């Protein structure tokens, strides 16, 4: 793992196999890896291909179900505007990712100021809040109430490892008053379930403020370099985040990497002499590809179902039934006005509004919208079993535009056009039982030679773009170093990826 030179790099620990583990057999031969299939051309898969393509003689094939590479880091064009699938920004503390970005995409990077607000009780509050803003919104008695609640939480012991649910963790971290006023409404609206059913891991992964203490310290003194809880500026890709995967794909093709678009994976089978055969389909055709190794960024639930097709396991199927991904409906709204506001993104915890977050692309790159116009993206989240997901696009357009008018940000007559995009796998859902289920899944995958699952969907964890890139680099390193035995090292270290800091 010499390619990444930074203190935040997580090495792979020595693997100690339990008794009876087939990967512990001394007769096992390390499979030389020369031909690799990568499932998915998102940033994680492309980063893995970038690292692998630096090795002479490596043959790499990427299968991507969409027409273009990028996964969630994709941009769309609509009536003269460009926008992303929700707000994307680049910030990383990982030197290896910084190296990759500057090596492959330095000319595309631009620096942008970060601003965001949250709508509470019909008014907008800067988020994270400033002292003046919090005082104006909540008043002195409100701040005293929050402070007293926070001190009470500290006296009761504060946040501890015994907190199992999001509700317990956030109450212990922020105090009950602030939790009920801000955190609970937004979390329950976003995840579509009571906070008591959400794992405490969401508090650690998605809420970076670290409690009211950090919130208060930020009001009166600057944060230390490398310990920021929110950003004042971020990097972005000129022309839209989707240019980054397109640029990487162009470089990879010049290196001989084969990227096959519009090909969905339909099956995965271990070959008798080692390696894997991947079945795929595209409109009007289907086929198979074989390779020495496989790197997968597709949802781990799909991967395990492919592997289990030839050897059904009722226990594993029951485990998988409890792992879900949050889906997302994105309503893009073209507006006849030069700007809605200075915010990169806006939060809406109010349950009477159908969307929970919005972003204005002009504030990421002014060139994304023509003069005199702007475009918003409104996010609506849904669980896979939620009947709302099956409603037609017109329903979401009608409800989102109506609610947008309620916020006071936009007048109905300013709306020039709308379009909708849907994401079936946006975020893994951390229920209180997800960890136990995931351990069983990784135990199953550990016995699949020369096959690694990584990225947000592949490791079933909340992360940022830089983390997905980082995991792609490390997955490539791990496979080249350990060959067929890579899974036992990879999944032994997978828990460490959950410790990567998410900075908003």
Q: Quote the pLDDT of residue 363.
A: 97
| Amino acid 398: pLDDT | 97
- Of the two residues 103 and 400, the one the predictor is more confident about is 400
Beta bridge partners of residue 377, listed in sequence order: 332, 359
> Is 12 a residue whose pLDDT tops 50?
no
137 and 165 share one domain: yes
Q: Is the pLDDT of residue 6 over 50?
A: no
Alpha-carbon span 306 to 3, nearest angstrom: 33
DSSP letter, residue 383: -
Position 276 in a domain: yes
Strand partners, 165: 199
* pLDDT for residue 386 is more than 70: yes
Region 205-234: mean pLDDT is 54
Residue 27 lies in a domain: no
Maximum average pLDDT range among 7-11, 39-43, 101-105, 270-274? 39-43
Domain annotation covers residue 223: yes
- What is the 8-class DSSP label of residue 187? H
Do 318 and 328 belong together in one domain?
no
Q: What is the pLDDT of residue 159?
A: 65
Cα dihedral 322, 325, 329, 330 in deg (nearest 10): 160
* Torsion sign over Cα 476, 478, 479, 481: positive
Separation CA 418–CA 420 (nearest Å): 7
Indicate if 247 and 339 belong to the same structural domain: no
Q: How confident is the model at residue 30 (pLDDT cuts 50, 70, 90)?
A: low
243, 108 Cβ separation under 8 angstroms: yes
Secondary element (H or E) of residue 155? helix 131-155
How is 336-378 classified by DSSP, letter by letter? SSS-S-S-SEEE---TTSS-SEEEEGGGT-GGGS-TT-EEEEE
Both 194 and 59 in one domain: the answer is no
pLDDT in tens, 298-341: 999 999 999 987 677 888 889 998 999 999 999 999 999 999 99
- Residues near 227 by Cβ (< 8 Å), separated by ≥ 6? none
29-33, 278-282, 344-348: which has the minimum mean pLDDT? Answer: 29-33
Q: Establish if 46 belongs to a structural domain.
A: yes
160-169, 223-232, 371-380, 398-407: which range is least confident on average?
223-232
Asked if residue 18 belongs to a domain, the reply is no
In a domain, 82, yes or no: no
What letters, b where the CB count within 10 A reaches 16 and e where it falls short, cover 244-264? bbbbbbebbeeeebebeeebb
Average pLDDT over residues 109-122: 92
Are both 334 and 470 inside the same structural domain? no
Indicate if 291 and 329 belong to the same structural domain: no
Beta-bridged to residue 237, according to DSSP, are 109
How many other C-beta atoms are found inside a 10 Å radius of the C-beta of residue 25? 9
> Mutual orientation of helices 166-174 and 131-155 as an angle, nearest 10°?
110
331 shares its domain with 385 = yes
In a domain, 205, yes or no: yes
Is the backbone of residue 231 left (phi > 0), alpha (psi -120 to 50) or beta? beta
Residues 305 and 330 placed together within one structural domain of the fold: no
Q: Region 256-280: what's the mean pLDDT?
A: 95
pLDDT tens readout for residues 78-101? 999 999 999 999 988 888 899 889
- Last residue in a domain, options 179, 200, 229: 229
Report the chain's mean pLDDT, rounded to a whole number.
86
Give the domain range for residue 415: 324-428
- Does 395 have pLDDT greater than 70? yes
pLDDT at 308: 84
Q: Give the per-residue pLDDT at 91.
A: 87
pLDDT value, residue 416: 98
**Which of the pair, 436 or 227, is modelled with greater confidence?**
436
Q: Select from 254, 243, 22, 232 the least CA-distant residue to 114.
A: 232
The predicted pLDDT at position 136 comes to 81
What confidence score (pLDDT) does residue 23 get? 37
Q: What is the arithmetic mean of pLDDT over 268-279?
A: 94
- Band (pLDDT 50/70/90 cuts) for residue 394 is very high
- Mean pLDDT of the 70-82 span: 96
Same domain assignment for residues 284 and 404 = no
Parallel, antiparallel or unpaired: strands 116-120 and 264-270: unpaired
What is the number of domains present in the chain?
A: 3
Of 71, 61, 104, the closest CA to residue 257 belongs to 61
Looking at 170, 203, 229, which one is the last position of a domain? 229
Largest CA distance in the chain: 73
Give the per-residue pLDDT at 299. Answer: 97
| pLDDT of the residue at 29 | 45
Q: Same domain for 393 and 259?
A: no
Which pLDDT score is estimated for 309?
Answer: 78
**Pairwise pLDDT comparison (460 vs 8), residue with the higher score:** 460
Q: Looking at the domain assignment, is residue 194 inside a domain? A: yes
Compute the residue count for the chain. 504
Residue 453 phi, psi (nearest 5): -110, 135
Contacts with 223 (C-beta within 8 Å, 6 or more apart), sequence order: 217, 229
Angle at 303 between CA 300 and CA 308, to 5 degrees: 125
- φ and ψ at 61, to 5 degrees? -125, 130
Stretch 391-419: mean pLDDT: 97
Give me the residues paired with residue 326 across strands: 427
| Mean pLDDT, range 243-266, rounded to an integer | 96
Q: Which of 201, 153, 142 is nearest to 176 (CA)?
A: 153
CATH number at residue 379: 3.90.660.20
Indicate the DSSP class of residue 298: S
Using CA atoms, how far apart are residues 339 and 410, in angstroms rounded to an integer?
Answer: 10
Claim to verify: residue 311 and residue 328 sit in the same structural domain: no
Q: What is the CATH number of the domain that holds 40?
A: 3.50.50.60
Nearby residues of 274 by Cβ (< 8 Å), 6 or more positions away: 31, 292, 449, 450, 484
- 457-476: pLDDT as tens digits: 999 998 889 999 999 999 99
pLDDT tens for 333-381 read 999 999 999 999 999 999 999 999 999 999 999 999 999 999 999 999 9
């Amino acid at each position: 793992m010499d390619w990444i030179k930074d203190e935040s790099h997580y090495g792979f620990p020595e693997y100690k196999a339990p008794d009876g583990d087939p990967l512990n057999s001394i007769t096992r031969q390390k499979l030389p890896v020369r031909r690799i299939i990568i499932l998915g051309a998102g940033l994680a898969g492309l980063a893995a291909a970038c690292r692998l393509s630096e090795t002479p003689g490596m043959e790499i094939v990427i299968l991507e179900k969409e027409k273009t590479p990028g996964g969630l880091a994709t941009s769309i064009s609509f009536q003269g505007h460009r926008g992303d699938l929700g707000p994307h920004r680049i910030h990383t503390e990982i030197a290896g990712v910084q190296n990759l970005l500057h090596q492959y995409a330095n000319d595309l990077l631009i620096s942008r100021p970060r601003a965001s607000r949250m709508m509470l009780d019909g008014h907008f509050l800067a988020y994270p809040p400033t002292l003046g803003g919090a005082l104006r919104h909540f008043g002195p008695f409100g701040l005293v109430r929050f402070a007293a609640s926070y001190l009470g939480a500290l006296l009761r012991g504060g946040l501890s490892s015994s907190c199992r649910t999001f509700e317990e963790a956030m109450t212990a971290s922020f105090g009950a008053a602030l939790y009920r006023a801000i955190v609970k409404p937004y979390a329950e609206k976003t995840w579509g379930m009571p906070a008591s059913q959400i794992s405490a891991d969401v508090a650690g992964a998605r809420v970076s403020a670290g409690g009211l203490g950090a919130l208060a310290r930020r009001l009166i003194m600057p944060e230390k370099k490398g310990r920021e809880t929110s950003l004042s500026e971020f990097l972005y890709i000129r022309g839209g985040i989707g240019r980054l995967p397109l640029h990487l794909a162009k470089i990879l093709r010049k290196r001989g990497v084969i990227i096959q678009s519009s090909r969905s994976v339909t099956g995965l089978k271990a070959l008798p002499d080692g390696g894997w055969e991947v079945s795929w389909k595209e409109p009007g055709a289907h086929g198979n590809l074989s390779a020495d190794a496989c790197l997968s960024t597709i949802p781990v639930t799909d991967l395990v179902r492919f592997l289990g097709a030839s050897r059904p396991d009722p226990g594993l199927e029951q485990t998988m039934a409890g792992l879900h991904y949050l889906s997302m409906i994105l309503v893009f709204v073209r507006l006849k006005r030069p700007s809605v506001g200075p915010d990169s993104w806006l939060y809406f915890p109010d349950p009477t509004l159908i969307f929970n977050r919005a972003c204005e692309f002009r504030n990421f790159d002014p060139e994304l919208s023509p003069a005199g116009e702007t475009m918003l993206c409104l996010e609506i989240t849904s669980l896979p079993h939620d009947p709302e997901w099956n409603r037609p696009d017109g329903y979401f357009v009608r409800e989102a535009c109506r609610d947008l008018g309620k916020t006071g940000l936009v007048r109905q007559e300013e709306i020039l056009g709308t379009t909708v995009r849907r994401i079936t796998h946006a975020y893994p859902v951390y229920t209180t039982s997800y960890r136990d289920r995931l351990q069983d899944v990784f135990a199953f995958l550990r016995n699949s030679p020369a096959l690694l699952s990584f990225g947000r969907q592949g490791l079933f964890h909340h992360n940022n773009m830089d983390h997905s890139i980082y995991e792609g680099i490390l997955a490539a390193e791990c496979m080249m170093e350990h060959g067929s035995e890579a899974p036992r090292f990879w999944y032994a270290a997978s828990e460490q990826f959950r410790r990567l800091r998410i900075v908003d």
